[in-house]
């Protein structure tokens, strides 16, 4: 973005702001009228309502794109020519696929049956005998990198493994105990029992709706827009997978997350309506510690915002002035020195404790991106449908424990 484009963007942002205010006002007027007359929307009102809602969604997406460009211009952090060319290539590739235009020779390496194949790495070889270097504007690593910021993994210093291939096998060795023996007494052999955990990656599909107006306006920022929307959706399902007390089974059963078994057989149980006490928290930690597992920096508590509110006001004893959950910074909390993470994927009656390095989360192979301009064509929306494979392998189930409060 240059100075002229920056000034034009600023003017457009004002127009967008004013128009969205007009839309909000009109929607509010219709809702107030319908509520006052105690009736449903008429067909004409319903059509107007849906039209305004779609227009607002498109305007907000356009606003986000313009803001991104303006922020880059103000900060002086403009993409290098190579990076800008890659982003422009992505927008050009999307345009060609969406409109059934011929795919440029240098991008054919990324298209298969009209789907865009996002590779693990950029190829260094040529595409064909014409010696045209392949243009790969986005890779799996770049697609997944921002995802770390949205999940508990990153907050504990752990990273998602991406671009995995083949079979996900992990050796599991049972513990071997040492013994005291008298001098010259033959020591009995100890058998080391070895087994393995084999991963079973499952397909995750994410459909990202983007207004055609936003696509047409975005140009080089389209890549950033699609990645941000993809990551928001992916972070939601991965957090739910890792933290939910039930196996995700909407269409196909996903491998159980680390807390499914822990919640089914809780280490600590609390009566209905009772806020957990300090001794309950200590018992929860102890349930993991007594398994002879090192409690590393990857350990932490997870609970809902409602449960955290209870723990912030629950004294550790009687008028000690110390609470179970204590602030260690703005929006940051600790329990007994361990970080507390808030997620609404955890039930309000549950507290989870785990050493998360014993849960491995991995993304497999390339990512297939299907551009669907037809399903929501009447709404002026193109859908970016991502298909990829993930697995979640719990290496040590005993590294995860839960406190569950009765509901009946």
* DSSP code per residue over 137-163: ---HHHHHGGGGGGSHHHHTT---EEE
96 and 235 fall within a common domain: no
Summarize the confidence of residues 294-309 as an average pLDDT: 89
Length of the chain (residues): 408
**The pLDDT of residue 274:** 94
Choose the final residue of a domain: 49, 75, 101. Answer: 75
CB-facing half-sphere around the CA of 279: CA atoms within 13 A: 4
46 and 123 fall within a common domain: no
Alpha carbon 253 to its chain's center: 19
Is residue 307 in a domain? Answer: yes
Distance CA 94, CA 87 (A): 11
248 and 338 fall within a common domain: yes
Summarize the confidence of residues 150-164 as an average pLDDT: 71
Q: Is 394 within 8 Å of 357 (Cβ atoms)? A: no
256 and 242 fall within a common domain: yes
Most confident of 59-63, 118-122, 341-345, 348-352: 348-352
Residue 199 — pLDDT band, cuts 50, 70, 90? Answer: low
Residue 209 — pLDDT band, cuts 50, 70, 90? Answer: confident
Cβ atoms within 10 A of the Cβ of 408, count? 3
Is residue 180 in a domain? Answer: no
Is residue 317 in a domain? Answer: yes
More confident residue, 313 or 89: 313
30 and 129 fall within a common domain: no
**The pLDDT of residue 159:** 66
Cβ atoms within 10 A of the Cβ of 13, count? 15
380 and 360 fall within a common domain: yes
122 and 58 fall within a common domain: no
Is residue 158 in a domain? Answer: no
288 and 306 fall within a common domain: yes
Is residue 291 in a domain? Answer: yes
**Phi, psi (rounded to 5 degrees) for 81:** -55, -45
Is residue 192 in a domain? Answer: no
Most confident of 3-17, 54-68, 70-84, 274-288: 274-288
Whether 280 has a pLDDT exceeding 90, the answer reads: yes
pLDDT tens digits, 315-342: 998 888 899 999 998 888 999 999 999 9
Residue 179 — pLDDT band, cuts 50, 70, 90? Answer: very low
Q: Is 368 helix (H, G, I), strand (E, B) or coil?
A: strand
Distance CA 296, CA 6 (A): 48
More confident residue, 111 or 79: 111
Closest Cα to residue 116, out of 82, 140, 133, 132? Answer: 140
Is residue 185 in a domain? Answer: no
Distance CA 377, CA 211 (A): 10
Task: Provide the residue range defining the domain that includes 45.
Answer: 3-75
Label the pairing between strands 359-372 and 115-118: antiparallel
Task: Work out the mean pLDDT of the chain and round it to a whole number.
Answer: 78
**The pLDDT of residue 131:** 40
Choose the final residue of a domain: 110, 141, 172. Answer: 141
**The pLDDT of residue 272:** 94
Beta bridge partners of 210: 382
Whether 129 has a pLDDT exceeding 60, the answer reads: no
Residue 160 — pLDDT band, cuts 50, 70, 90? Answer: confident
**Phi, psi (rounded to 5 degrees) for 342:** -100, 130
**The pLDDT of residue 175:** 45
Is residue 196 in a domain? Answer: no
50 and 109 fall within a common domain: no
364 and 223 fall within a common domain: yes
CA-based diameter of the chain, in Å?
97
Q: Tokens for 75?
A: 């900060």
Choose the final residue of a domain: 119, 141, 163. Answer: 141
15 and 89 fall within a common domain: no
Question: What is the domain count for the chain?
Answer: 3
More confident residue, 161 or 196: 161
223 and 127 fall within a common domain: no
Residue 89 — pLDDT band, cuts 50, 70, 90? Answer: confident
Lowest mean pLDDT among 239-243, 269-273, 323-327: 239-243
Q: Tokens for 220?
A: 């080089």
Distance CA 71, CA 209 (A): 24
Lowest mean pLDDT among 3-17, 190-204, 217-231: 190-204
Q: Check residue 323 and report its DSSP letter.
A: B
Residue 220 — pLDDT band, cuts 50, 70, 90? Answer: low
**The pLDDT of residue 157:** 59
């Amino acid at each position: 973005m240059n100075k002229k484009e920056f000034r034009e963007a600023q003017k457009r942002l004002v127009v967008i702001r004013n128009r969205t205010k007009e839309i909000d006002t009109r929607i509010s007027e219709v809702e107030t009228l319908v509520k006052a007359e105690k009736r449903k929307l008429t067909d004409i009102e319903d059509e107007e309502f849906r039209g305004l809602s779609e227009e607002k969604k498109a305007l907000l997406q356009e606003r986000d794109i313009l803001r991104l460009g303006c922020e880059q211009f103000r900060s002086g952090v403009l993409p290098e020519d190579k990076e800008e060319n890659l982003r422009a290539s992505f927008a050009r590739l999307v345009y060609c696929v969406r409109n059934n235009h011929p795919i440029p020779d240098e991008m054919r390496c990324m298209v298969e049956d009209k789907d865009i194949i996002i590779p693990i790495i950029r190829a260094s070889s040529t595409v064909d005998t014409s010696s045209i270097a392949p243009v790969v504007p986005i890779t799996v690593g770049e697609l997944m990198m921002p995802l770390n910021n949205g999940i508990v993994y990153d907050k504990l210093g752990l990273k998602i493994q991406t671009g995995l291939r083949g079979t996900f096998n992990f050796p599991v060795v049972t513990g071997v105990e040492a013994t005291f023996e008298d001098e010259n007494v033959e020591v009995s052999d100890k058998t080391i029992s070895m087994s393995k955990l084999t991963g079973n990656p499952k397909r995750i599909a994410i459909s990202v709706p983007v207004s055609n107006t936003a696509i047409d306006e975005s140009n080089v920022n389209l890549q950033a827009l699609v990645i941000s929307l993809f990551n928001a959706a992916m972070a939601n399902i991965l957090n739910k997978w890792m933290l939910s007390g039930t196996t995700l089974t909407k269409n196909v059963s996903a491998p159980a997350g680390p807390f499914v078994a822990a919640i089914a057989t809780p280490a600590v149980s609390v009566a209905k309506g009772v806020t957990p006490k300090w001794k309950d928290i200590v018992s929860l930690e102890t349930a993991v510690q007594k398994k002879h597992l090192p409690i590393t920096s990857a350990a932490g508590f997870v609970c809902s915002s409602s449960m955290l509110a209870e723990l912030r006001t629950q004294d550790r004893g009687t008028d000690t002035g110390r609470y179970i959950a204590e602030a260690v910074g703005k929006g940051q909390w600790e329990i007994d020195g361990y970080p507390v993470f808030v997620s609404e994927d955890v039930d309000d009656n549950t507290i989870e404790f785990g050493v998360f390095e014993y849960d491995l989360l991995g993304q497999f192979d390339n990512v297939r991106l299907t551009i669907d301009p037809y399903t929501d064509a009447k709404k002026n929306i193109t859908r970016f449908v991502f298909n990829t494979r993930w697995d979640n392998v719990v290496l040590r189930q005993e590294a995860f424990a839960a406190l569950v409060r009765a509901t009946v």
